Amino acid sequence: MVTSLVIAPVDVPESRRHKKRIGGITIPTWIGVGLLALCALLGLVVLLAPPFRNLWTAQDLRATFLPPLSSGHPFGTDNLGRDLMWRTLAGLGVSVAVGLGVAFLAVTLGLMVGIVGGYFGRAADVTSNIVIDVTWAFPAILLAVVFAGWLGPGLLTVVLALALTEWAGFSRIIRGEVLSLRERDYVSAARVLGRNKVAISLRHFVPNLLPVTLVLAVYFVAGAIVAEAGLSFLGIGAQPPTPSLGSTLAQGRDYLTRTWWPVILAGGVLTLTVLLLNSVSDQLREHFDPRIGRRR
């Protein structure tokens, strides 16, 4: 008897469909990442490219509070007659820039402190723990007010205030991961091979921490975007004429009795962006988690 290796399933219920993958990543994740990249690019170009600057700064006091779908202003205009579509896009650019800046700084700092605390001896661990505890006790908004008094309000203030508070939680997670990684046999083997702590950190810890770092970095971007909007709403963040989704919300509030669309537009874009970021982060986590996703 010759048994073929491929056996037709007998009376087996169809299992749940397997998601198609490209390069090991599911299509919804690719779509999410693509949409995010598109938004980020669009926002940054509108914000930074000089030809676009005039579009979101130009005032026209004869055309204030135009409703959406007015000719030449698909999203309408604000109290100074500035085009809301361009201002929203530029605001998105501000959000993206702040989000990326905060995530980059917080992740770099968090990785360094986490690895040092987890692997460079007891003294380093105790010190870094104290720093983390103190940082954690410090609300971002307080730090932002302090920086605003020192550096003046602005996006740099926002980025610094958020990054210098956000890294602490991330650092704790990294420290925990390092405590587990350092006990792996391959780390012991590297020590016996004469590699020093810096080499082991760069060679073994950082690459193995990359998945968790990436997932959390995306969450940081989302968190920073919301926090920036909050701080700008309070007037600590983006200064006129730089449009931020938060400052658009704040201005919109002043005229809420007359017009609703600036608030709805800015708020809607903010919400959608953060939702998209969080869902991509979830999917990345699923991708990297061996218990859920497929092992790479």
Partner 1 sequence: MSPIVVVENLTKDYAGPSKSVRRAVDDVSFHVNEREIFGIVGESGSGKTTVARVLLRLTRPTGGHVSVAGIDPWSASREDRRRYHEVIQVVFQDPYSSMDPRMRIGAVVTEGLRSRRTHDRPVPTVAELLDLVGLPASYERMYPHELSGGQRQRAAIARALAMGPQVLVADEPVSALDVSMRGQVLNLLTSLQVELGLTVLFISHDLGIVQQMCNRVAVMHNGRIVETGDPVKTFENPSDPYTQRLVASVPRIPVS
Partner 2 sequence: MSAPVIEFKNFSLGRDIGTSWEPLVTDMTLQLQPGEILGLVGESGSGKSLSALSCLGLLPAKVRPLGGQLNILGRDSSTFGDEEWREVRGAQVSMIFQDPMTSLDPCFTVGSQIVEAIRAHEDTSAKEAQGRALEMLRLVGITDPEQRFGAFPHELSGGLRQRAMIAAALVMKPTVLVADEPTTALDVTTQAAIIEQVVQLQQQLGMTVLWISHDLGVVANLADRVAVMYAGELVEVADTKRLFADPQHPYTMGLINSARVRSAGEPFDFISGSVPEPSTWPEGCRFAPRCSRPTSVCQEHPAMTQPDSGGSLRCFHPGMAVVS
Binding site residues, partner 1, CB under 8 A: 184-186, 188-195, 199, 203-204, 207-208, 295
Closest distance to partner 2 from the beta carbon of 8 (Å): 8
Residue 193 contacts which entry, partner 1, partner 2, none (Cβ below 5-8 A, type-dependent): partner 1
Closest distance to partner 1 from the beta carbon of 29 (Å): 21
CA distance 21 to 288: 14
CA 44 to chain CA centroid, Å, is: 15
Would you say 51 or 290 has its CB closer to partner 1? 290
Residue 189 contacts which entry, partner 1, partner 2, none (Cβ below 5-8 A, type-dependent): partner 1
**Per-residue DSSP letters for 178-208?**
HHHHTTSHHHHHHHHTT--HHHHIIIIIHHH
* Longest CA pairwise span in the chain (Å): 90
Closest distance to partner 1 from the beta carbon of 284 (Å): 17
Closest distance to partner 2 from the beta carbon of 291 (Å): 11
Residue 108 contacts which entry, partner 2, partner 1, none (Cβ below 5-8 A, type-dependent): none
Would you say 108 or 180 has its CB closer to partner 1? 180
What are 50's two structure tokens? 């000089």
**Cβ within 8 Å of residue 83, ≥6 positions away:** 55, 56, 58, 72, 73, 75, 77
- Residues lying near partner 2 in the complex (CB under 8 A): 1-7, 9-12, 15, 18
Would you say 11 or 185 has its CB closer to partner 1? 185
* Cross-strand pairs, 21: 26
Place of tokens 């959000």: 95
Closest distance to partner 1 from the beta carbon of 188 (Å): 6
Closest to 158 measured CA to CA, from 217, 269, 244: 244
Residue 184 contacts which entry, partner 1, partner 2, none (Cβ below 5-8 A, type-dependent): partner 1
